[in-house]
Chains A and B, each alone.
Chain A
């Protein structure tokens, strides 16, 4: 779980990449993701990954991305082994394994550089219903609160003699019940209070609420978009038509 949270949790940054329009960042990640699926040889994948590393360097998140790559690699080893056993083909098994790393990195690049606020903006761009967007916003907003809740409940139950780390697997799963029940009860109470506060601040008063901040694509956003699409087209074209699939 740790590699997952480390690889996908947003941390504030001030790099050029952080300041890009969130929609552009999403596009870049989607394009990188697609290219990863088009790759037909390891050396092509190496090219794609080096582009990702370059993007990570610009975004000043190189160390975090490197860590994610390293941690994903252990899972990749598993993919490699399974593939090798099934197909006996060393090259394609390696391709699958490394491709997995590339896929994780391309998605992680989007999430670690995009704030929840910007994510909300992206969801609005896709014209998702206000309720859906708001549900997402509150879910993410209350993650730290719930985590704190969980820790407090765990401490309270431990102080009453609950031994979380004792026993076999079944016993350990059963030990979670005294943690989960208060957590769920807390959340139900919390959601009631949230509903009251929402009503009191006119949630749903008008069908089209306005927004305090507006993300407007700046010239740099547009330039980056054009550049990204051009690079994508060029790469796709060269992978399929120019470069040999089986480079020595």
Chain B
């Protein structure tokens, strides 16, 4: 029955959920010292009774008092009472030893322990509590622990004594500390129900928690700051890349424009020449005008082509990939024609892909420009750019492969070509954003991949969509 009522220790104090408390109470009452005296008295009385009953019985049966019986009875009763007494004494001794042991444990604990009765009297405090709150001097718990004149409004005595175990945190203004509190009911040595409280000082832990919280908050702020910074940086990078593409646009246009401009200039000057040398007639004039007009049309067409490339596309469309590649080739032709670079195309003209067509054309233009720059930088006169477009039957993806014979990319930089601001070129000419932006667009807008590899002296840029 004891075990059912909770965890038992040998001190006679039962802690825990004391629902089955009532039947045990008598037992515990019996274990008190008062009871021991009562029992001794009872035994003594029994002995005297035996001493009287035994000769009386012998007289009744034998019609005389047998003194042998009397003495035997006395001796027997004495022995019995001595044995009982010694057993009781050893039990009391054991009990007090166990109590001592228990109190020692409580005293040695680093946590504060107190036992408070139902009328708020303090039955026990361990040295930790005493150290913290001073002598108890018969104070009630609310006065001793909280400096209050009446029971604390938050007092949980009722609940605890009805069998609940309570875990809670309390702040004590008297000690200015925060404690973790565990309250449970105990049966004290006199059999009454009292409240056993164990308090653990968590002020430091609390402080640490606060500090950690502060640190976390700071970290959080820091992360947010960095994220904001990065966003600004991305924004800047985006703006910069816009400037760059504007710059590239101008460069490309100027390459297309320079020769026709020169040619128009010469045609006009040539009219005066012909006049001076007496060669000018209507036919001569017509010829020169026709030639100049044709050049002017070229200039205008170039502008249209580039303007179309940089118009804003609202949404993704399905378009013919080979046509976009052709467009990129036309746009860069102003550059590469002069340099003797040849573009060889093997295009599957039926392939349709989805995305922003202009963006895609710009990516191809970026890759072609990259190859062109390499030829220029390395002074390679017979550059070949091979553009292949096909569908990979195994993966069902469209592959665009741009190979150039401008030499392999050194192993130490091949992993860096897609990093922003990376360039091997004259920094006045290039900013190192072209391939980076291309990769971002392929991966984010087209859900594809853009990779680079060397093969047999050629360098291949490969788009898979």
A, B assembled together:
no
